[in-house]
Amino acid sequence: MMGKLRPGHLVEAAFWLGLCIFLYAYSFEFDRDIEIYKYGASGWPRAIILLIAIAAIGQLIHHYVKGDESSSQMISAAVDDGSEEAAHEAHHETVKWYLSTFALLSIPFIYMRVPEWFAGTSEPGDPGLHTWRLIIAAILVAIVVYFIRHHRVRVMLMLPLFFASLLEDFGFYAIAPFFIIGVMYLFGERRAKPMALIMALIFGFMLMMFVNILYVGLPVGNIEPFYSFGSWVVTVLQ
């Protein structure tokens, strides 16, 4: 029984599963024991390969049950959702809107460059550079918080880039919870208790996955007190 599968669905699934088999076989080339990681050098690559295989099988099952009908409906709804009229009514075609959007999306790049200009150096350990990074980061975060209530779509596009730009200096462990809460807020959640619970579950799962299982070195930051906090979390978890 083929269900609603087409030959293209089978070819796509075969490609991804074949790639997974190839990558898994290749992982034996660098499978070495690591003193601090019981799963060895091939542990986390094989975990990624497993996730790809699960996704491919899940997509094949989805096509078997639904075919292309659900995808076609989603595309049709996206094309005919009134977004063009809404953008026109909200004045999203004006020069001012484009300039403000550009300014908002430039925030991550401002953080990556401006502190070095003020400090006159790019040396990572320079105390003056750390001070300017703290000041600029505080100002930019305040700007993002201001815009997050009125320009959610644009902030949603910018926030992952801003989060990535802050990781090296402030560390994953200190700022990831705020990033998760920010994403939930952008998607419309306003209840404090559910937000706190979901943030704790997602953050806890990520810590367990990357620190305890995969032993992936997440950034701990290089600015105090964020560096000390990140190092303390890693010490506790390991």
Q: Which amino acid is at 235?
A: T
| Angstrom distance (rounded) from CA 220 to CA 176 | 11
pLDDT of 178 reads 93
Q: How confident is the model at residue 135 (pLDDT cuts 50, 70, 90)?
A: very high
**pLDDT tens digits, 112-122:** 888 888 888 77
Which of 223, 222, 215 lies closest to 45, judged by CA? 215
Positive or negative, the Cα torsion across 130, 134, 135, 136?
positive
Q: Is 150 exposed, middle or buried (0-12, 13-18, 19+ CB in 10 A)?
A: exposed
pLDDT of 139 reads 93
Q: Which two three-digit tokens encode residue 209? A: 């996955």
Q: Which amino acid is at 10?
A: L
CB atoms within 10 A of CB 182: 20
pLDDT of 78 reads 44
Cα angle: 224, vertex 233, 164; to 5 degrees: 65
Q: How far is CA 27 from the centre of its chain?
A: 26
**pLDDT tens digits, 61-94:** 888 887 665 555 544 544 444 444 544 554 555 6
Full-model pTM: 0.63
Q: Which amino acid is at 181?
A: I
CB atoms within 10 A of CB 37: 14
For residue 194, is the peptide bond before it cis, meaning its omega torsion is within 30 degrees of 0? no
Which of 217, 214, 112 lies closest to 171, judged by CA? 217
Q: How confident is the model at residue 41 (pLDDT cuts 50, 70, 90)?
A: low
Q: Mean pLDDT, the chain, as a whole number? A: 79
| Angstrom distance (rounded) from CA 219 to CA 20 | 29
Question: What is the percent of the chain with per-residue pLDDT over 90, rounded to a whole number?
Answer: 16
pLDDT, mean of residues 35-62: 79
**pLDDT tens digits, 145-189:** 888 877 777 788 888 888 888 988 898 899 999 999 988 888 888
DSSP 8-class letter at 208? I
